[in-house]
Structure 1
Amino acid sequence: MDNFFRLAGALALVAVLAGCVARPVGDFGRAAPSWTHDTAMPAAGNFIAGNRGEPVSSFNKTDQEDEMHDRVWRFLVAVHAKDWQFDGAVELQRTRIVRPRDERFTIERYYNWLKTTQYQSSRTRYATVGRHVTADIDTLPTTFTAICKVIEIDRQRAIAYGGLGHDLPPRLAEEVAARKYENDAFIDWFVRALNYRYSSYDYALDNLLVETPHEQSLAVDEALRRMAVFLNRANRRDFCASPGGHPGGGGGVVIPSRFQNIGDTEIVLPK
């Protein structure tokens, strides 16, 4: 019965917080400190997640885990494009109040935002996509490095418990496993978010090529080719240094351009 009342209280708190669910944003698009979003919602979410049968760790976060969450967050939302990545739903998911919802996001939202935003020149839409892709590329190396550090932290936890487990309470093994579950789930979310961003940019460029053909499309396509290198690494869960020892390296993989096989083929419009 006590558990029932605690769950009811958590759900009531969620209802109160529903009106201010989007996480506040500070300088440079970073998350701003907020008691509601940093303390109240995570506490309610952890309780709700536990009642769903999901592993929940009470471990304090390491500096590396905090850094990973801070760096990944910008890929989960899109404050530069008026919630085309569902900022409210993302915050409920981040705090574990609801199960993952990002898997149902559809890729046309970014293009729809571009299409309905008024620009003086149609070329500016290409510049906007290129700017957003480049901003993502610029932060991906440090994001990969932050994720790599957390993977190493989980490895070190397992080694430490393996060597000291006989002197530690059994509950600690559950905590280690729960924190790894949480970190793995967050990393998987980042990978899905990166795929969603790339697909959204790619879809927008394809539509712009048909709607307003301009030579600026070549620069955007090249930016997407550079982003695809990181995307391929993320899908392989290759977040640590490349074989050459350079974080963020492409490993020699060449991503073909969408224009590579077009050549001078005549375009025939439907009658």
Structure 2
Amino acid sequence: MGDFGRAAPSWTHDAAMPAAGNAASSLRGEPVSNFNKTDQEEEMHDRVWRFLVAAHAKDWVFDSSVELQRTRIIPPNKDQHYTVERYYAWLKRTEYQSSRTRYSAVGRHIAADIDTLPTTFAAICAVIEVDRQRAVAYSGLSNGLPPAMGDNMRARKYENDAFIAWFVRALNYRNDSYDFALDNLLVETPHEQSLAVDEALRRLSAFVARANRYDFCGNGTAHLTGGGVVIPSRYQRSGDQEVVLPK
């Protein structure tokens, strides 16, 4: 891993595996573009990467499988077979000094996701705009361009759409995994810290709802706060019941 949780540069992962993946994709009949990536596409891939893997919880989202899928060596839907109990299993087998600390860990992981989602959404929105601009430019210039240019444009749109769809599935998987872990922790080691984790999950669910609607291009505070979608909490409490997670 490099800075900001991104994959560190590597000839194997950045050249050899993508070349093999492009060949495998072509054999499967999937569109493959040889366009250079725009800065917006590079940033989207960098920002989405942390949601596809989990460096803080080794391989609970199948890091090796993710890399094979990213480089297109395997089909683009392998992640659909992931099951939600792996995050809780990682929490359960990790030795903590206090059972309350597991709630703190879940809260920190959710908070880290929420903190990076606004910029991730913005990066995805920028790529959607790039694809729109490509289509507009091609429609006005297609008479003077070789047919391969149109094929490449449509293939890149397919690749970007597939990557965005992967992000949406990954975000849902994280949310479902956190939810599953909290439910199990409530039975295994019930503590008042569960309230704070549940509130964090409610905030994350707002972003999940936006992602499922492919609403990545919100404006103003609606964009920064998850669109103002209200998700009912699993707790119905009256009065000021705020619980602060221990550091």
TM-score normalised by the shorter chain: which range applies?
A: over 0.9
* 1:183-202 deviation line (CA, Å, top 9, x unaligned): 00000000000000000000
Structure 1 distance, partners of 2:129, 2:44, is 12
Contact 1:241 1:249 in 2 (8 A): no
- What's the % identity of the aligned pairs? 73
Query: 1:255: how far off?
Result: 1.0
- Structure 1: runs of 5 or more not aligned: 1-24, 263-271
Contact 2:2 2:8 in 1 (8 A): yes
- Out of 191, 199, 205, which is 2:176 matched to? 199
Query: 1:259: how far off?
Result: 1.1
| Amino acid aligned to 2:197 | V
* 1:107-145 deviation line (CA, Å, top 9, x unaligned): 000000000111110000000000000000000000000
| Counterpart residue number, 2:186 | 209
Contact 1:147 1:187 in 2 (8 A): yes
Contact 2:222 2:228 in 1 (8 A): no
| Amino acid aligned to 1:221 | D
* 1:231-270 deviation line (CA, Å, top 9, x unaligned): 000000000024x5642333332111111289xxxxxxxx
| Amino acid aligned to 2:79 | D
| Counterpart residue number, 2:146 | 169
| Counterpart residue number, 1:160 | 137
Structure 2 distance, partners of 1:112, 1:190, is 23
How many residues align? The count is 237
| Counterpart residue number, 1:189 | 166
Structure 1 distance, partners of 2:42, 2:6, is 13
Contact 1:229 1:250 in 2 (8 A): yes
TM norm structure 2 = 0.93
| Counterpart residue number, 1:36 | 12
Structure 1 distance, partners of 2:228, 2:44, is 26
- Identify if the C-alpha distance between structure 1 residues 165 and 28 changes in structure 2 by more than 3 Å, giving closer, same or farther: closer
Which runs of structure 1 show a deviation greater than 4 angstroms over 4 or more consecutive aligned residues?
A: none
| Amino acid aligned to 2:50 | R
| Counterpart residue number, 1:20 | none
Structure 2 distance, partners of 1:197, 1:84, is 10
- Out of 88, 91, 95, which is 2:67 matched to? 91
| Counterpart residue number, 2:45 | 69
2:41 is the alignment partner of 1:49: no
Q: What is the CA RMSD across the aligned residues, in angstroms? A: 1.3
2:75 is the alignment partner of 1:102: no
Contact 1:49 1:96 in 2 (8 A): yes
- Structure 2: runs of 5 or more not aligned: 239-247
2:143 is the alignment partner of 1:141: no
TM norm structure 1 = 0.85
Give SS of 1:79's match. Answer: coil
Query: 1:214: how far off?
Result: 0.3
Structure 1 distance, partners of 2:189, 2:236, is 20
1:110-121 map, 5 Å: 110-121=87-98
Query: 1:170: how far off?
Result: 1.1
Structure 2 distance, partners of 1:110, 1:57, is 35
2:216 is the alignment partner of 1:247: no
Give SS of 1:256's match. Answer: coil
Contact 1:230 1:248 in 2 (8 A): no
Structure 2 distance, partners of 1:245, 1:230, is 13
- Out of 81, 89, 101, which is 2:57 matched to? 81
Structure 2 distance, partners of 1:93, 1:174, is 23
Structure 1 distance, partners of 2:24, 2:144, is 32
| Counterpart residue number, 1:6 | none
Structure 2 distance, partners of 1:246, 1:59, is 34
Structure 1 distance, partners of 2:227, 2:47, is 23
| Amino acid aligned to 1:148 | C
Q: Which has the larger radius of gyration?
A: 1
Q: Which has the higher contact order (CA 8 A, sep 6+)?
A: 2
Structure 2 distance, partners of 1:56, 1:103, is 22
